[in-house]
């Protein structure tokens, strides 16, 4: 049985994430759970560390932004969204191991979308959270390499 339209869109977004060149630098996988909910399964290793021996803030930003972005873009089937602002709160240093970024759409259904995300470490503790705004672009999803429905 072919997937319904929403499921096909989610799988195409997951494929788009996997095809992004930046993701060759990070061991990660996108999972869109339902409309407005996305998870990034990520592995921190020592190559992500700053000089004091914990994950650099760029890793936090990447995971939080990606999870919130894809949670929001799960509501939009024709256009790629663009991050216009993102605020971070880092609450715990991350060491090597698995991390999950959980993103959730909060509001907006026309031009601007708001979504948040949180990072959960291997012990089940929150290590960071963030909130972003995302705007509809003129870039059609169907024209992007990796977006396959």
Q: What is the pLDDT of residues 35-91, one digit of tens each?
A: 999 999 999 999 999 999 999 999 999 999 999 999 999 999 999 999 999 999 999
Residue 141 has pLDDT above 50, yes or no: yes
The residues near 87 (Cβ < 8 Å, ≥ 6 apart) are 130, 131, 132
What does the alpha-carbon distance between residue 149 and residue 141 come to, in Å, rounded to a whole number?
A: 10
* pLDDT attached to residue 1: 31
* Cβ(120)–Cβ(98) below 8 Å: no
* pLDDT attached to residue 61: 98
Domain boundaries of the chain, sorted by first residue: 5-143
Say whether domain 5-143 belongs to CATH 3.10.129.10. Answer: yes
* pLDDT attached to residue 3: 57
> Among all chains, which residue has been given the structure tokens 């605020």?
87
């Amino acid at each position: 049985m072919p997937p319904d339209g929403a499921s096909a869109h989610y799988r195409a977004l997951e494929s788009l994430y996997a095809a992004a060149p930046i993701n060759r630098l990070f061991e990660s996988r996108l999972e869109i759970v339902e409309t407005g909910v996305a998870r990034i399964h990520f592995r921190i290793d020592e190559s992500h560390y700053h000089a004091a021996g914990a994950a650099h803030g760029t890793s936090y930003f990447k995971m939080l932004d990606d999870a919130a972005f894809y949670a929001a873009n799960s509501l939009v089937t024709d256009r790629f969204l663009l991050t216009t602002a993102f605020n971070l709160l880092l609450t715990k240093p991350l060491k090597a191991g698995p991390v999950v970024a959980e993103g959730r759409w909060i509001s907006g259904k026309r031009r601007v979308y708001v979504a948040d995300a949180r990072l959960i470490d291997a012990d089940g503790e929150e290590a960071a959270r963030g909130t972003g705004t995302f705007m509809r672009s003129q870039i059609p999803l169907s024209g992007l390499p990796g977006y396959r429905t």
